[in-house]
Amino acid sequence: MRRAHLAATAALSITAALTATNAQAADLTLCWAAWDPANALVELSKEFEAQSGHTMKFEFVPWPNFADRMLNELNSGGKLCDLMIGDSQWIGGSAENGHYVKLNDFFDANGIKMSDFIDATVTGYSEWPKNTPNYWALPAFGDVVGWTYRKDWFEKPELQAAFKEKYGRDLGVPKTFAELKDIAEFFQGREVDGKTVYGASIYTERGSEGITMGAMDVLYSFGFKYENPDKPYDMEGFVNGPGAVAGLEYYKALYDCCTPPGSSNGYMSEGIDAFKSGQVALQMNFAFTWPGFESDASVGGGKTGYFVNPAGPDGEQFAQLGGQGISVVSYSEKQEAALEYIKWFAQPAVQAKWWEMGGFSCLKAVTLAPEFPQSQPYAQTFLDSMAIVKDFWAEPSYATLLQASQRRFHDYVVAGNGTAKEALDGLVADWTETFEDDGKL
Is 205 among the residues that bind another protein (CB under 8 A)? Answer: yes
> Which region among 124-132, 154-162, 374-382, 403-411 touches another protein (by CB under 8 A)?
403-411
CB of 407 to another protein, least distance (A): 6
Out of 53, 62, 129, 207, name the contact with another protein by CB under 8 A: 207
User: Is position 330 an interface residue for another protein (rule: CB under 8 A)?
Assistant: no
Q: Going by C-beta distance under 8 Å and a sequence separation of 6 or more, which residues neighbour residue 338?
A: 28, 82, 83, 328, 329, 332
Q: Are the C-beta atoms of 90 and 66 separated by less than 8 Å?
A: no
Q: What is the C-alpha separation between 114 and 104, in angstroms, rounded?
A: 10
Q: Which of 396, 427, 428, 435 binds another protein (CB under 8 A)?
A: 396
Instruction: State the binding string over 49-88 for another protein (x if CB under 8 A, else -).
Output: -------------------x--xx--x-------------
Closer Cβ to another protein, 211 or 319, answer by number: 211
3-class SS letters over 64-107: HHHHHHHHHHHHCCCCCCCEEEEEHHHHHHHHHCCCECCCHHHH
Q: How far is the CB of 202 from another protein (least distance, A)?
A: 13
Identify the residue among 91, 137, 363, 399 touching another protein (CB under 8 A). Answer: 399
Residue count, binding to another protein (CB under 8 A)? 30
CA nearest neighbour of 383 among 109, 180, 120: 120
Other C-beta atoms closer than 10 Å to the C-beta of 75 total 12
Residue 129 sits in the site that holds another protein (CB under 8 A):
no
Residue 206 makes contact with another protein by CB under 8 A = yes
* Stretch in the footprint of another protein (CB under 8 A) among 16-24, 300-308, 321-329, 392-400: 392-400
Minimum distance from residue 270 beta carbon to another protein (Å): 11
User: For 76, how many CA atoms within 13 A lie in the half-sphere containing its CB?
Assistant: 10
Q: Which is nearer to another protein, 265 or 375 (CB)?
A: 265
What three-state secondary structure class fits 130? coil
β-bridge partners, 433: none
Using CB under 8 A as the binding rule, whether residue 410 contacts another protein is answered as yes
Which residues is 329 bridged to in the sheet? 100
Taken as a whole, the chain contains a residue count of 441
403 binds another protein (CB under 8 A): yes
**Letter for the amino acid at 214?**
G
Question: From CA 89, how far away is CA 436, in angstroms rounded?
Answer: 20
Contacts with another protein in 234-293 (CB under 8 A)? 260-265
Contact 254, 200 (CB under 8 A): yes
Nearer to another protein, 106 or 233 (CB): 233
Is residue 295 within a helix (H) or strand (E), and if so which, with residue range? none
Q: Is position 214 an interface residue for another protein (rule: CB under 8 A)?
A: no
Write out the residues near another protein by the rule CB under 8 A: 68, 71-72, 75, 93, 97-98, 205-207, 260-265, 396-397, 399-400, 403, 407, 410-412, 414-417, 437
